[in-house]
Amino acid sequence: MRIFHYWFALWGIVSRELLRFVKQKERFLSALVRPVIWLFVFAAGFRAALGIAIIPPYETYILYEVYITPGLIGMIQLFNGMQSSLSMVYDREMGSMRILLVSPLPRWYLLLSKLFAGVFVSILQVYVFLGIAWFYEIQAPLEGYLWLLPALMLSGLMLGALGLLLSSFIKQLENFAGVMNFVIFPMFFMSTALYPLWKLQESSEWLYKLAEYNPFSQAVEFLRFALYGQFNQQAFIYTAVAFALFLILAIIGYNPSKGMMKRKGR
Amino acid sequence: MNIKVLLSSALLLISTSSTAETVFVSLEKDNAIAVVDPIAGKLIKTVNIGQRPRGIKLSPDAQTLYIAVSDDDTVLEVDANTLSVIGKLPSGEDPETFAINSLGTRMYVSNEDDNQVTVIDLQSKQAVATVAVGVEPEGIAVSPDNQWIVSASETTNMVHWIDAKTHEIKANTLVDPRPRALSFSADGQQLWVTSEINGSLMVIDVATKEITQRIHFAVPGVGKEKIQPVGVVVDDIHQWAYVALGPANRVAVVNAQTYKVEKYLLVGARVWNLAFSPDQQRLYTTNGVSHDISIIDLAEHKVTKSIAVGRYPWGLAVKP
């Protein structure tokens, strides 16, 4: 195998995802409508919800809309990751996955390419969302938008890897509703996307602990700090480790001789 | 050689681009003054000064800091460089707010409990006159031409126009309930007054002594009862006025030309008093209940930082 083959496979997978993304305008719109509604409707009702506390990376008091924005960026990537997992299940049902997996390239590479393709799409969605938020006066320092890019890569990969892992468990498309109920909602609500940790601690100690160790929280905090030009080391390590763990498990899951594929083959 | 010249001029530019200024904040409950470096965004130190410091102002030459220590019934004269007390002024009982004329020769102190204004000669450090005004005088200001002293009586709901030469009240303007702070425009043609209970801001024409504009505030998501305007300042080019809205935790940005409220900036809890940086690029606010000051970038109208300073910050003075 030459490097050319690797590049060709990556390009094939990314362009397929992009093509799908461009062709399905509703998908792009719905991916945007969700966080925009959260921002304009949900957050607007809680303008004064945060009370008086300055939490890093913020250096002064902020409106709730400002606080929730990195959480909504995380939401875009979370849904995108899950959407990719949904498409994997679909591909498996329709048989196109077989074409992908019979490629002579290593399986981990194919799965990673698939992940990159998903992350690329989510990054486009995030920047369009931030553009809308800018006109709603939610504005971070300009360099923050640059620093956000590598952070989006990592958080997107982590959430995509989680989706990939889940997709190795799901036998049929219909089971995706379960993913919504048991993964997306708990991950999103039990995180720092909507409320800071100190606020969660005020309501319950166990909710605080769950949110603190939720990898989605760490990804959101990593994004939040990056958007304000700061590096949150703890969140970075946590997100990177979670990514590595999910990816390894997903690769095992997709290994026909070891993982879920084997079980399904029975 | 050219590179050296370029480098040194670049260094010079960098070193002069951020002018070092010092913000002094009176801390009502800590009986102290907080010294803040606003460019570095740091509290440098806190200096014990006297019982319940509130009103704080610099002399026009920025060498002397005057601080009303209400529970000690005096206004302290403090060396602005060393922060050592150099004198005490006979302010009358429970001084809270005061104003100094642009020559630095006279100080006018509101005596809330005695319903009077005390005039102090800053050279002899003697009280030279007292002027009987309405009930509970608080806000006080001197016109830029030093012709008028204006005093706002909180309970009488009046602005009294005191002639600076004769110390006689020449006119009274009836204003909205509980007037708090007063500020002249730099050209001396307008007086801006806040009304705490009515939640309004009034613009008075100095020539006619009549209210020409009345501005109301409405902050999305904040109850009307929480909008209690206190401190007000107008920039030198008469483009913007800024109003501290007390428990609404906002500073209102008012277009001084159109009298429209353009923006509300979120700052700390119970924002009370305001002061410009010498170049008017920044505005500083004291946030009484959240125990901090906020820094507002005036070019972008954005709050850039809030710095914890101590308990109940009341007023501030900015030394160039």
* B158-184 pLDDT, tens digit each: 999 999 999 999 999 999 999 999 999
What is the rounded distance in angstroms from the CA atom of residue B1 to the CA atom of residue A115?
A: 55
- DSSP helix/strand/coil, B15: helix
Contact residues, chain A to chain B, C-beta under 8 Å: 44, 47-48, 52, 54, 59-63
Beta-strand (E) ranges in A10-147?
A: none
Buried b (16+ CB within 10 A) or exposed e, A27-59: bbeebbebbbebbeeebeebebebebebeebbb
Domain range for A63 is 3-265
Q: Shortest CA distance to B53 belongs to which of B85, B22, B13, B21?
A: B85
- DSSP helix/strand/coil, B229: coil
**Stretch B295-318: mean pLDDT:** 95
The helix or strand, by DSSP H or E, that contains position A131, with its residue range, turns out to be helix A107-135
Residue of chain B whose alpha carbon sits nearest to that of A43: B221
Q: Shortest CA distance to B276 belongs to which of B247, B237, B246, B308?
A: B237
Q: How far is B233 from chain A (nearest CA, A)?
A: 22
What is the reported pTM?
A: 0.84
Query: In the predicted model, is pLDDT for residue B16 greater than 50?
Result: no
Q: Is the CB of B294 less than 8 angstroms away from the CB of A59?
A: no
pLDDT, position A239: 96
Q: Which residue has the higher pLDDT, B238 or A39?
A: B238
The helix or strand, by DSSP H or E, that contains position A166, with its residue range, turns out to be helix A142-167
- Is B269 in CB contact (< 8 Å) with chain A? yes
Q: Shortest CA distance to B314 belongs to which of B96, B130, B121, B115?
A: B96
The helix or strand, by DSSP H or E, that contains position A188, with its residue range, turns out to be helix A185-189
Q: Considering CB atoms only, which of B41, B221, B267 is closest to A61?
A: B267
What is the rounded distance in angstroms from the CA atom of residue B289 to the CA atom of residue B267?
A: 11
- Is B39 in CB contact (< 8 Å) with chain A? no
Number of domains in chain A: 1
What is the rounded distance in angstroms from the CA atom of residue B129 to the CA atom of residue B125?
A: 12
What is the rounded distance in angstroms from the CA atom of residue A177 to the CA atom of residue A75?
A: 17
Please, are residues A120 and A195 in contact by the beta-carbon 8 Å criterion?
no
What is the rounded distance in angstroms from the CA atom of residue B250 to the CA atom of residue B266?
A: 5
Query: In the predicted model, is pLDDT for residue B128 greater than 70?
Result: yes
Please, are residues A143 and A44 in contact by the beta-carbon 8 Å criterion?
no
The 10 Å Cβ neighbour count of residue B159 is 26
What is the average pLDDT value for chain B, to the nearest integer? Answer: 92
B15 pLDDT tier (thresholds 50, 70, 90): very low
CB contact set of A213 (below 8 Å; sequence gap of 6+): none
Can you state the percent helix, strand and coil of chain A, rounding each to 5? 80, 0, 20
What is the rounded distance in angstroms from the CA atom of residue B264 to the CA atom of residue B227?
A: 12
Region of A229 on the Ramachandran plot (φ > 0 left; ψ -120 to 50 alpha; else beta):
left
pLDDT, position B14: 44
Q: Considering CB atoms only, which of A47, A54, A63 is closest to B306?
A: A54
Q: How does pLDDT run across B200-222, given as a tens digit for each residue?
A: 999 999 999 999 999 999 988 78
Query: In the predicted model, is pLDDT for residue A259 greater than 60?
Result: no
A137 pLDDT tier (thresholds 50, 70, 90): confident
In chain A, what percentage of residues exceed pLDDT 70? 91
Residue of chain A whose alpha carbon sits nearest to that of B296: A60
What is the rounded distance in angstroms from the CA atom of residue B136 to the CA atom of residue B156?
A: 8
Residue A183 per-residue DSSP state: I
Instruction: Encode A224-236 in three state secondary structure.
Output: HHHHCCCCCHHHH
Question: Which amino acid is residue A134, in one-letter code?
Answer: W
**Stretch A120-135: mean pLDDT:** 92
Q: Is the CB of A61 less than 8 angstroms away from the CB of B221?
A: no
Q: Between chain A and chain B, how many beta carbons pairs sit less than 8 Å apart?
A: 33
**ipTM attached to this prediction:** 0.77
What is the rounded distance in angstroms from the CA atom of residue B50 to the CA atom of residue B117?
A: 22
A261 pLDDT tier (thresholds 50, 70, 90): low
The partner residues of B172 in beta bridges, in order of sequence, read: B160
Q: Considering CB atoms only, which of B41, B268, B304 is closest to A52?
A: B268
pLDDT, position A43: 79
Query: In the predicted model, is pLDDT for residue B317 greater than 90?
Result: yes
- Is B221 in CB contact (< 8 Å) with chain A? yes
Residue of chain A whose alpha carbon sits nearest to that of B247: A52
Question: Which amino acid is residue A65, in one-letter code?
Answer: E
Residue of chain A whose alpha carbon sits nearest to that of B42: A59
Dihedral sign for Cα atoms in the order B171, B176, B178, B183: negative
Please, are residues A237 and A245 in contact by the beta-carbon 8 Å criterion?
no
pLDDT, position B1: 40
Q: How far is A46 from chain B (nearest CA, A)?
A: 8
pLDDT, position B217: 96
In a 10 Å sphere around its CB, with 0-12 CB exposed, 13-18 middle and 19+ buried, how is residue A4 labelled?
Answer: exposed
Please measure the distance between the N-terminal and C-terminal CA atoms of chain B and give it in whole angstroms.
35
Least confident of A121-125, B76-80, B146-150, B292-296: A121-125
Q: How far is A210 from chain B (nearest CA, A)?
A: 30
Supply A248's token pair. 């390894």
Q: Which residue has the higher pLDDT, A107 or B100?
A: B100
pLDDT, position B3: 46
What is the rounded distance in angstroms from the CA atom of residue B304 to the CA atom of residue A239?
A: 29
Q: Considering CB atoms only, which of B221, B222, B294 is closest to A60?
A: B294
Q: Is the CB of A62 less than 8 angstroms away from the CB of B266?
A: yes
Q: How far is B222 from chain A (nearest CA, A)?
A: 8
Query: In the predicted model, is pLDDT for residue A218 greater than 80?
Result: yes
A20 pLDDT tier (thresholds 50, 70, 90): confident
pLDDT, position A256: 65
HSE, side-chain direction, 13 A CA sphere, residue B145: 8
Query: In the predicted model, is pLDDT for residue B7 greater than 50?
Result: no
Query: In the predicted model, is pLDDT for residue A111 greater than 60?
Result: yes
Select the residue from A55, A60, A67, A134 to test the B interface by mutation, using most B Cβ atoms within 10 A.
Answer: A60
In chain B, what percentage of residues exceed pLDDT 70? 94
Q: Is the CB of A63 less than 8 angstroms away from the CB of B266?
A: yes
**Stretch A140-165: mean pLDDT:** 93
CB contact set of B163 (below 8 Å; sequence gap of 6+): B147, B148, B149, B169, B170
Cis omega before residue A57 (within 30°)?
yes
What is the rounded distance in angstroms from the CA atom of residue B148 to the CA atom of residue B151?
A: 10
The partner residues of B37 in beta bridges, in order of sequence, read: B42
Query: In the predicted model, is pLDDT for residue B13 greater than 50?
Result: no
pLDDT, position B104: 94
- Is B285 in CB contact (< 8 Å) with chain A? no
Please, are residues A166 and A86 in contact by the beta-carbon 8 Å criterion?
no
Please, are residues B292 and B309 in contact by the beta-carbon 8 Å criterion?
yes
Chain B environment of A44 (Cβ under 8 Å) = 221
Query: In the predicted model, is pLDDT for residue B118 greater than 80?
Result: yes
